[in-house]
Structure 1
């Protein structure tokens, strides 16, 4: 089963969910704001994809962090920060049996949907 992690009012997440629906891809949605993000889940994403893929350094939440936290971010401490501040996760995160994917750039939408359709069918 495909799980889509994100925030329900995020434009990119909304676009991804609509595209998955339109393609007939079954998924469950996990909203960070209401359901949170466990440190273990965040650590698994970091181990699989790396800090640079998982952490959104362009968002408001990143800019609000103090310099010490931003400068000291590493694979060793990122999971705790993401569990505390799940808005720092690049969105959406697609978790499916055997893999993960992050992001839904407009230029890549069709390719992402096709890849997800192939792995969850």
Structure 2
């Protein structure tokens, strides 16, 4: 399991804590400190497309209009902290964010019934 996030991100800290409490030991990749391998970036964009960009982040708000207009792969390569987090790769499957659906898959919890 690989975990792409930021050490300062609240959602990332919650996700890591929950995964570790469930006995998972994710390999943590800090997108700011470690960067994102181009092959991983390509896989993330292939899996999530535009949803991989967090348009409500402080990083996004600080970008120039020219940067915001870049294709998603180029934007994320130049500004990896604009990526929605966490991104988790587990057993060949990619997961975006830390919503109930991702928690159910990675923690083995059943989603709430409707």
Scaled to the shorter chain, the TM-score interval is 0.7 to 0.9
| Residue 115, structure 1, aligned to residue 113, structure 2 | no
For structure 1, the residue ranges without an aligned partner over 5 or more in a row are: none
2:44 corresponding residue in structure 1: 45
- RMSD of aligned C-alpha atoms? 1.6
Q: Structure 1 stretches (4+) deviating beyond 4 angstroms?
A: none
Q: What TM-score results when the alignment is normalised by the length of structure 2?
A: 0.84
**Distance of 2:21 and 2:30 partners within structure 1:** 20
Q: What TM-score results when the alignment is normalised by the length of structure 1?
A: 0.79
Structure richer in helix, relative to its length: 1
**Distance of 1:99 and 1:28 partners within structure 2:** 15
2:112 corresponding residue in structure 1: none
- Indicate conservation of the 8 Å contact 1:32/1:86, yes or no: yes
**Distance of 1:68 and 1:62 partners within structure 2:** 12
Aligned residue-pair number:
108
Q: Which has the higher contact order (CA 8 A, sep 6+)?
A: 1
For structure 2, the residue ranges without an aligned partner over 5 or more in a row are: 109-114
1:18-97 equivalences in 2 (<5 Å): 18-51=17-50, 53-70=51-68, 72-73=69-70, 77-97=71-91
